[in-house]
Structure 1
């Protein structure tokens, strides 16, 4: 029993030491690393956009703050993704580059038992989250 308590205490100490060391790591040149966030009207996407903006990272997203660029985007449409990529590329000047794409958009709006949901509902959800990705539209040669 004492051995298990010692292992648990050691694991907890190791966790906090690792977490402390992880938080000491910093990324250089954040002001040149742009981030594109889809679906950031509320929740995680909104908080991420505000946090990145606060840390000096250029953010392209649908949030209401002056330091964030609003980009119209329908993740289920190739044309919309291509237009969003064009807008982002046009705005990235002076050594800035797209560092991350956060696909946080989702259109699944039916909650409850599976019997209430059709195959089309699942297909629409998967199209906007798992299968559709704008990342291939935003790759550029650096």
Structure 2
């Protein structure tokens, strides 16, 4: 993403834009840059002060400049969110491969076995069979997080 950003136009108001819209409430708050220490630090002043200062600076732009800058800022933000989503998915896959999520894999295998046993009953009243009731009882006790993935 850093290479792509070097080839794209990043508005000078990029940081101001996201401070002004209140993005400091996400991702750990607002940061400032200390040129002497060459490091970032948390801004402990009230967020509304930082937001107000950012708004003042953005108001000095023309409407056309602001619209173009906002459009580009959101394109960069979307690229970041997409990259972060792909990273999270890759990390989850690697965790499974490293056998760190054995509980989830075990639950998936158990569901598969119970479903196979329940699906062998192809009768008219298969849903009333012992196997089907066992399958339903197991799936009903799973937490909501199990159904999201």
Structure 2 length as normaliser, TM-score? 0.26
- Flag the structure with larger Rg: 2
- In terms of fraction of residues, the more helix-rich structure is 2
Higher relative contact order (CA 8 A, sep 6+): 1
Structure 1 length as normaliser, TM-score? 0.27
